[in-house]
Structure 1
């Protein structure tokens, strides 16, 4: 059952986190159409008001890399890029087992 997982953080320009969140919510909708994406979750941390955390589980690292080249993803990132202050890949993991349901 091994799956590829990446956990990252996007930092928005001051006062732009809601706009960045809206762009990323569009990405979430698009990821629902990909059979190779098992989990794409956005989160926030109270003591980091300008940050969005992203937790992703993919069929493989290649599936994740392929998603980054999709036109819809590239277009959304191009729109969001001016308000992104930084990005951080916190962890890459191999998922051994588990359950997710929303």
Structure 2
């Protein structure tokens, strides 16, 4: 996702700050990353127990509040890719 100039750290703090509640919602992996060469882009990598678990998490009050705080700080440029996880280090093998 792209952030408006000067807001990357604020958005990263909000995203990382909500990570604890995601585990209970069915999130197995949640990684927020930035680049030294692109100060306006944030990458978020997520692995969920199911699409339904992800969709349900969007209805949690704390997630709705985080979305409301961050949306004004974003440019609206998003990319996403859904994958079927075959395996790897740090991901559950029973999915």
Q: CA deviation at 1:90?
A: 2.5
Select the residue among 18, 26, 29 that pairs with 2:9: 18
Unpaired runs of 5+ in structure 2?
none
Moved over 6 A (4+): none
Instruction: Give the TM-score taking structure 1 as reference length.
Output: 0.79
1:17-66 deviation per Cα after TM superposition (whole angstroms, max 9, x unaligned): 111111111122321333x1100100112332111100000111111111
Alpha-carbon separation, structure 2, partners of 1:32 and 1:46: 28
Structure with the higher fraction of residues in helix conformation:
2
Does residue 53 in structure 1 map to residue 38 in structure 2?
Answer: no
The structure showing larger relative contact order (alpha-carbon pairs under 8 Å, at least 6 residues apart) is 1
Structure 1: runs of 5+ lacking an equivalent: 1-9
2:12 partner SS: helix
Question: Considering only aligned residues, what root-mean-square deviation do their CA atoms show, in Å?
Answer: 1.6
Instruction: Please tell me whether residue 77 in structure 1 is matched to residue 56 in structure 2.
Output: no
